Amino acid sequence: MKDLMGKAIWDYYHNENSEDLQTETSISELDELPVEYLFRGFEDMNKIEQKALQFSKGKTLDIGTGAGSHALYLQNERNLDVLALDISPKSIEVCKLRGIKKAVSENILNFSGETFDTIILLMNGTGIFESLSKIDTYLKKLHTLLNDEGQILIDSTDILYMFDRDEDGGVYIPAGGYYGELDYIVHYKGESEEPITWLYLDFNTLKNAAVNNGFKIEKVLKDEDSYLAKLTKK
């Protein structure tokens, strides 16, 4: 893994001629992602992120922390015991430099040894599930990391709106798989990552998977086509 996201975060933090990241998916064209956006404060986060951070309580795990902005807010403003986790080593180095006391570079499927009162997965948190075929694997893992009275706060977007419609309102969806299962590619300073599979889930699909893996689920907030869900153990 080239860790281009981590390189961009590292460059921006150290003022080393950072450039905007570029991202694309199998259904969308190249898009700019300003690296400074990953360092935003609470006031610049969207409604779903703010609600998740306000709902967080107790010992908290921030999965896919990136530059650590969510974890930093929970640690410094909410005084919570937070562990920031990301697969990107350079991102985790920056998290530590920003003052996050507990930060680990690890794939969530390989992480163990602790349990949490709150687990947050934000900025399309369902993306880490990769594909429909792997949802059960990830949800089972999250179940083992959650305390009995704990909660998982996860967001996603139903991307059905991105597909063309006919005159009668029918949606043209490519055959062969779930429409929210996309190839996702990151570009930075002329380099490109290998495509990864990234999953956008509609709420009902997430609900069915959650229930099948020992969770209760509720929709905490809806913002246009995006939503925040809370999962708790049955």
Give the span between the Cα atoms of 188 and 5, in whole angstroms: 8
Per residue, the 3-state secondary structure of 194-229, as one string, reads: CCEEEECCCHHHHHHHHHHCCEEEEEEEEECCEEEE
Average pLDDT score over the chain: 94
Name the least confident of 17-31, 131-145, 213-227.
17-31
* Amino acid 1: pLDDT: 74
* Residue 36 reports pLDDT greater than 70: yes
Longest dimension (CA), the chain: 55
The pLDDT assigned to 175 comes to 61
Closest among 124, 133, 121 to 231, alpha carbons compared: 121
Look at phi and psi of residue 68 and say left if phi exceeds 0, alpha if psi is from -120 to 50, else beta: left
Alpha-carbon gap, residue 207 to 212, rounded angstroms: 9
Q: Band of the pLDDT at 3, cuts 50, 70, 90?
A: very high
Amino acid 66: pLDDT? 98
For the stretch 55-97, pLDDT in tens is 999 999 999 999 999 999 999 999 999 999 999 999 999 999 9
Q: Which pLDDT score, from 0 to 100, does residue 162 have?
A: 77
Q: How confident is the model over 123-151, as a mean pLDDT?
A: 97
| Percent of the chain residues past pLDDT 70, beyond the cut | 94
- Residue 137's pLDDT band (boundaries 50, 70, 90)? very high
pLDDT at 168 over 90: no
161 or 73, which is more confident: 73
Q: Which neighbouring-strand residues pair with 218? A: 230
Banded pLDDT at 195 (limits 50, 70, 90): very high
Band of residue 160 on the pLDDT scale cut at 50, 70, 90:
confident
Fold adopted by 4-160+172-233: Rossmann fold (3.40.50)
How much is the pLDDT for 99? 98
Span 88-125, pLDDT tens digits: 999 999 999 999 999 999 999 999 999 999 999 999 99
d(Cα 210, Cα 206) in Å, to the nearest integer? Answer: 6
